[in-house]
Amino acid sequence: MIKKIAAASIVGIVIIVSLAVAFSTEMEPQPEPQPESNAVSSHSMQGVIQPDVMTGGDVIMPTKVSRPGCEETDRCYIPSVITISAGESVTWVNEDSAFHSVTSGFYDAPQDLFDSGHMDPFDSYTLTFDEPGTIDYYCTLHPWMEGQVIVE
């Protein structure tokens, strides 16, 4: 009987301590990300990778696109085709748990206009397009992921 009371007391103490910790722990506010971009032309396209940006952006790489199949529903990049005016920026945000890239061209025909390199989960990549045209892009790690920027 004493062992049961002692065990129940210990369980009660553990629950009380757990609740106290849960209610006393406050989440630290996260600083607002500051947008960065580099103005580029088709002659020297270079972008900026911004680590740990979890919200915002013009094009999202959603979860589970590292598996084939997102191309069947046109959801590898959301949106897969984006139209902007010359001088505007596009920001790609990797919301997946896998690495991705934003690289000009196609998997079997890359172009040398821009390449984000491998983006960690929740990284973003911003690129400003100064000249009109249509630019195709893809993910170097997942060849089924394709998108397009139309600059007017």
Residue 139 labeled ligand binder: yes
Residue 43 labeled ligand binder: no
Residue 17 CB: number of other CB atoms within 10 A? 10
SS3 92: strand
- Which two three-digit tokens encode residue 114? 């821009």
Furthest CA-CA distance within the chain: 83
DSSP class of residue 13?
Answer: H
Vertex 122: Cα angle to 138 and 35 (nearest 5): 90
Binding-site residues for Cu cation: 100, 139, 142
Binding-site residues: 100, 139, 142
